[in-house]
Homo-oligomer: A and B are copies of this chain.
Amino acid sequence: MSGHLAVIGLGPGDAGYVTPQAQAALAAADALYGYGPYLDRVPVRDGQSRHASDNREEGARAAAALAHAAAGAGVALVSGGDPGVFAMAAAVCEELAAGPPDWRSLDVTIVPGVTAMLAVAARVGAPLGHDFCALSLSDNLKPWDLVERRLDAAAGAGFVIALYNPISRARPWQLGRAFELLRSLLPPSTPVVFGRAVGRADEAVTVTTLALADPNAADMSTLLIVGSHQTHVIARPGRPPLVYTSRSAQGVNA
């Protein structure tokens, strides 16, 4: 089988995040697949076909890209951030596992990228500087009860928590419920970072506390970071505060 599928992370938005590896893989492709707004970030090249699809069609998009590659093409499937974190690489593996046996012979490569939590963390300091977890608040594919058990386990054990997919029109109450649960587990002063659209023109990053965190301040493009007992804020004159999680957890009970 001569085709090839590259699943490529574009990073959080600005071209300055696209690695040379990703640039080369994009330039080499015969066909590009992806969610429309992600495809729009890729420079147009003559002779390359483009196949945009809707945000919620991840399985169908992955299957279409696999089928095109199996037919002999060099296919690039683009993903925002890192394709391996709540993104297209898992969808490709799921479709490959369920698809025709010959898809298993395909040459598939994954090109990693800067995922949203790393970009948001970098904007404010180092809130992911010690043990942390990444959790999707979407209950489209898992029961809400499991989300709550994971929040409880993570906060109880002292992990900093990065929240992906915090809110959408179809999931309006989940983030508020998550804040309620976290307020029962962590001090009111726990730092919370709202990082919206980092690297894009409409970027907005704010630092607040768990007591004051407002779920309505988040949207589909927001990544949240909820601190731990080890997370501190440094006030700075004339500059935004720095948020960091100490490398030392001596004396931490959580």
Q: Which residues of A contact B (CB under 8 A)?
A: 11, 14-21, 24, 58, 82-87, 89-94, 96-97, 104-105, 107-115, 118-119, 121-123, 125-136, 141-143, 146, 149-150, 152-154, 156-159, 232, 234-239, 242, 244-250, 252
**CB distance A150 to B157 under 8 Å?**
yes
Per a CB cutoff under 8 Å, which of B131, B135, B244 touches A136? Answer: B131
Identity of the chain B residue whose Cβ is nearest the Cβ of A91 in the assembled complex: B247
Closest Cβ–Cβ distance, residue A28 to chain B (whole Å): 13
**CB distance A93 to B15 under 8 Å?**
no
Closest Cβ–Cβ distance, residue A3 to chain B (whole Å): 13
Per a CB cutoff under 8 Å, which of B105, B132, B237 touches A105? Answer: B237
Please measure, in the bound complex, the distance between the C-alpha atom of A153 and the C-alpha atom of B149, giving whole angstroms.
Answer: 10
**CB distance A244 to B93 under 8 Å?**
yes
User: Inside 8 A of A16's CB, which chain B residues have their CB?
Assistant: 19-21, 24
Can you name 29 A-B residue pairings with CB atoms under 8 Å? A11-B19, A15-B20, A16-B19, A16-B24, A19-B19, A19-B114, A82-B122, A84-B118, A89-B121, A89-B129, A90-B126, A91-B247, A93-B129, A93-B242, A94-B247, A104-B234, A109-B122, A110-B121, A110-B125, A112-B119, A112-B121, A114-B114, A115-B118, A132-B134, A133-B159, A141-B247, A149-B157, A150-B158, A154-B159
